[in-house]
Amino acid sequence: MSDAERWAVVAPVLEQVMDDGELALAGRVGGAVGAAFDSAVAPEHILAFGIDTILDGIQARIDRG
């Protein structure tokens, strides 16, 4: 799946839990991390980073009450 295809699937879900600024920042961070860890060719890194990021976001919202 290309990045564009992935974002087409993931963006609608993220838009429900993130505002526009957070979503843009997540995209930039994801791109930087992907480049640093060569995740474009390592699907296990993409999956692990994505799950960790989502869980961190959920935990942050729980912590805020």
Q: What residues does each domain of the chain span? A: 3-64
Instruction: Name which of 21, 36, 29 is nearest 53 in CA terms.
Output: 29
pTM over 0.85? The answer is no
**pLDDT per residue over 47-63, tens digit each?**
888 899 999 999 999 99
Count other C-beta atoms under 10 Å from residue 52's C-beta: 10
| Helix 20-36 / helix 43-64 crossing angle, nearest 10 deg | 140
Residues 8-33 have pLDDT tens digits of 888 788 778 877 777 777 777 777 77
φ/ψ bin of 18: left (φ > 0), alpha (ψ from -120 to 50), beta (otherwise): beta
Residue 39: HSE in the Cβ half-sphere, 13 Å Cα cutoff: 18
Coil, strand, or helix at residue 9? Answer: helix
